[in-house]
Amino acid sequence: MNQCLSTKALPADPGPSAWREILEPGPSFAPLQADIDADWVVVGAGFAGLAAAWRLSQLVNDERIVVLEAGRVAEGPAGRNSGFMIDLPHELNSTSYAGATEKDARDIRLHRAAIDFAATMAAECQLPSGVFDRCGKVTAACAARGEQHLVDYEKHLQAMGETYETLSAQDLKEYTGIDFYTRGLFTPHAAMVQPAAFIQGVAAGLAPSVTLYECSPVTAFEPGRQGARHSLTTPQGMVRTPRVILAVNGLIQRFGYFPGRLLHVFTYASMTRALAPDEIERLGGQPNWGIIPADPMGTTVRRTSDLRGSGHRLVVRNHGTLNQSYEASSANMRRAAKLQDQAFKNRFPMLSGVEFEYRWGGRLCLSLNSVPAFGELEPGVFSACCQNGLGTVKGTLAGMMAAELATGTDSELLQSYQTFDAPKKLPPEPFLGWGANATMRWREYKAGIEL
């Protein structure tokens, strides 16, 4: 059992949460400023924490649920991602996104249940189109290597009986407006979100039995012993509770759990300023779209159009670095900016002169064997962490499943979710850092123009 645990200062993600910055102000929640009791505490208001709170409120009726969020809602990774909710296999450490068929069939079932859950939350919160859209996803290649990835992926989908549509260069030009892509694959069950608007909308739509406190980092956590309550201390208040769900992704290690088993990877993105009307016309294509690169180390691109006064903008994401310190350096940010400038120039020659208004990075948490850090860690303390880079879906799923496990709800989904192994032990430093960063640089180099 853990002793009284103190989380050290919470790491900040570099750069602003651009998807949040471009929106008109969203809801705000007061910090915790008293010593209180609750039936349940959820730590973290990302995809995992909000799904946990939402599912708990369905399962325990009027019991008091408190959510403690260290920063502002949608300021962290949940609000600063590319917004693809992907149902199909999508391991970042894979070479073609394809995995073993049986394992993939389980993952697809779980992922679709999570996307359905997100769709229900979006509908109940009356989120407008553009915030959550069940529009499918497009994966696209621009060179022979990426095209081969797509061909392998198609074979895998065929073997699994999944539906898909092959897209030609012309289809992709009509979709994006640009001549860059040569072959694509449309799969219908994924969703796209404006991540910050989605997270803000769900936070605002939580049941009345849930109270969310922003700017309330848990700085000390003392698990209760022999039936005593757990206590969670924040700078201006404290909560005592019999049951806690930790939904803090990689920061679960700051609570003393899963030591030596989690990888902290940063990825980076840049967003343009709002495009002028003549630039929008020169670009052409659909007003809202997204491209997942055929090579997993390639560049993800999104176009977003004028949601809540945000203007028409393009977003590019690429580059990954392992930072076991939980902090990305300014050198990491500079390298990412350089790669993103080049990726933008390669794809959007008609928009030369359009600058990036925002640049940022954010934390992912991965395990060596791509499994979640999930379960009851000690009596009444549950984990919904380690989303392996696909946290919009896997975080939602982990939150739902943690709520079911914690309330003793038996479901087929939970049984299936509990078949994952535990995260494997990592090699020691400095070999881990050297090895992982060298592998990612080599794979970025091999991605070529897909990057």
- 400 touches ligand FAD (CB under 6 A): no
Q: Phi first, then psi: give them for residue 374, nearest 5 degrees.
A: -130, 150
Please say whether the beta carbons of 89 and 97 come within 8 A: yes
Q: Which is nearer to ligand FAD, 139 or 267 (CB)?
A: 267
Which CB atom, from 43 or from 53, has the smaller least distance to ligand FAD?
43
- Give CA separation, 212 vs 65, 88, 137, 233, 260, in Å: 8, 32, 32, 15, 31
Which of 80-88, 153-161, 335-343, 424-432 is the region at the interface with ligand FAD (rule: CB under 6 A)?
80-88
Residue closer to ligand FAD, measured from CB, 26 or 389: 389
Residue 279 to residues 153, 310, 359, Cα–Cα distance (Å): 35, 16, 21
Q: Smallest distance, Å, CB 332 to ligand FAD?
A: 12
Compute the C-alpha angle 93/97/102, nearest 5°: 105
Q: Counting contacts by CB under 6 A, is residue 269 touching ligand FAD?
A: yes
- Whether 280 and 272 have beta carbons less than 8 Å apart is answered as no
294 token code pair = 């055929």
Tell which one of 176, 231, 267, 321 touches ligand FAD (CB under 6 A): 267
CB of 255 to ligand FAD, least distance (A): 7
Residue 322, token pair as written in the block: 């392992």
Site for ligand FAD in 7-66 (CB under 6 A): 7, 10, 43-49
Residue 183 engages ligand FAD in binding (rule: CB under 6 A)? no
Binding mask 342-371 for ligand FAD (x = CB under 6 A): --------------------x-x-------
Nearer to ligand FAD, 280 or 307 (CB): 307
Query: For residue 435, how many other CB atoms are within 10 A of its CB?
Result: 12
Which CB sits closer to ligand FAD, 271 or 351?
271
Pairing of the two strands 312-322 and 263-272: antiparallel
Subset of residues 115 to 154 that bind ligand FAD, contact rule: CB under 6 A: none
Contacts with ligand FAD by CB under 6 A: the residue count is 39
Shortest gap between Cβ of 260 and ligand FAD (angstroms)?
Answer: 19
Q: Side by side, which strands form the sheet with 237-241?
A: 5-6, 220-222, 230-234, 237-241, 35-37
Q: By CB under 6 A, is residue 77 in contact with ligand FAD?
A: yes
Binding mask 227-266 for ligand FAD (x = CB under 6 A): --------------------xxx-x---------------
What is the rounded CA–CA span in Å between residue 41 and residue 241? 7
Strand order in the sheet with 289-293: 165-168, 183-187, 137-141, 289-293, 300-305, 312-322, 263-272, 356-366
Is 393 a residue that touches ligand FAD (CB under 6 A)?
A: yes
Identify the residue among 82, 187, 194, 367 touching ligand FAD (CB under 6 A): 82
CB 321 within 8 A of CB 440: yes
Residues contributing to the site for ligand FAD (CB under 6 A): 7, 10, 43-49, 68-71, 76-78, 80-84, 217-218, 247-249, 251, 267, 269, 317, 362, 364, 387, 389-393, 395
